[in-house]
Amino acid sequence: MLKTELAGVKLQNPTVLASGIRGVTGASLVHMAKEGAGAVTTKSISLKERKGHPNPVILTFEAGIVNAVGLSNPGAEEALPEIEYAVKNAKVPVIASIFASTITEFGKVAEIVSKANPQLIEVNISCPNVEDEFGRPFACDPGISTVVIQKIKKVTKIPVFAKLTPNTARIGEIAKAAEKGGADGITAINTVGPGMLINIEAAKPILSNKVGGISGPAIKPIALKCVYEIHKSTSLPIIGTGGVTTGRDAVEMIMAGASAVGIASGVYYRGPGIFKSVTEEIQKFMEAEGYRSIKEMRGIAHEE
């Protein structure tokens, strides 16, 4: 009933640990798999080590989280043993998330992480911390999105998912551009923003970077709309991510068009056990409403 598929990669349940929550360490990814995640995603990995921003980098507010971690990671070569450990021990599909500051670097990072044989590669072309020469995330430009995916597809046979930004009025067009480049699927969405929180006693922004991406329950309606638009634009499988904390949230994502559901900030709200809880809640809903499979629910909200 709960099985699903992402570009030929089979998941026992539709929950996916989203990128950025549990770092790059193989042990942490394995732990999340044991907690019930149907697949696990590494923190985004770059060609060289990146230290990120100084603290404070993460803040909670009434309806979500603002973060500007700065994509800290050890670099692709250093991350390889951790990805390999996860692939060997997680017993669920491992998704290697990558990012870069140039199109050429995207190809180099993809080539390196492919040595660890993750089941999928997620191409983070949407992070607000990495921009093209015009100050935009790569995923704001259809042409660049196509070329980035083409570059990566030339160096790996592993299925590639493009992670898209909600900070564009044409996310469906960007998804089609990624598909044109050879993408095997889409992850949507990355954080919304940037946003800001201010310490009124100190009279200044709280984050060291001043601004950061917004995640958590506050962005769920935006994520749903993006997944809905992408599903209208392409038949590629989608990992719907953004504000999912319950089984009902997950069902909404699936009905909007997602084949699987990424959980990120939800780990903060409900702990690592969220994956089993959400899976159980999805199953109870399906049994109550007479749905027999995830595929049967996928995109049903588009029907007249």
Mark out the alpha helices in 154-246 (DSSP H runs).
Answer: 171-180, 220-233
Please, which pLDDT band fits residue 137 given cuts at 50, 70 and 90? low
Give pLDDT tens digits for 169-182: 899 999 999 999 99
- Return the pLDDT at 101: 86
Q: How confident is the model at residue 87, as a pLDDT? A: 98
Catalytic machinery residues: 127
CA dist 162 and 226 (Å) reads 14
Q: For 47-62, what is the mean pLDDT?
A: 91
Number of neighbouring beta carbons within 10 Å of residue 295: 13
Give 72's DSSP letter: -
Q: For residue 282, give the H/E element and its range.
A: helix 274-289
Is the separation of the CB atoms in 16 and 261 below 8 Å? yes
pLDDT category of residue 85 using cuts at 50, 70 and 90: very high
Topology given in CATH for the domain delimited by 4-302: TIM Barrel (3.20.20)
pLDDT surpassing 60 at residue 133:
no
Higher pLDDT, 23 or 269: 269
**Section 33-38 average pLDDT:** 98
Mean pLDDT over 213-217 rounds to 95
Q: Where are the domains of the chain?
A: 4-302
**Which of 69-83, 213-227, 230-244, 282-296 has the weakest average pLDDT?**
69-83
Q: How far is CA 190 from the centre of its chain?
A: 6
Integer-rounded Cα Rg, in Å, for the chain is: 18
Mean predicted lDDT score pLDDT of the chain: 93
Residue 86 has pLDDT above 50, yes or no: yes
245-273 confidence digits (pLDDT tens): 999 999 999 999 999 999 999 998 999 99
For the segment 30-53, the average pLDDT, to the nearest whole number, is: 95
Higher pLDDT, 140 or 173: 173
For residue 143, give the 3-state DSSP assignment: helix
Report strand pairing: 15-17 vs 260-263: parallel
| DSSP letter, residue 86 | H
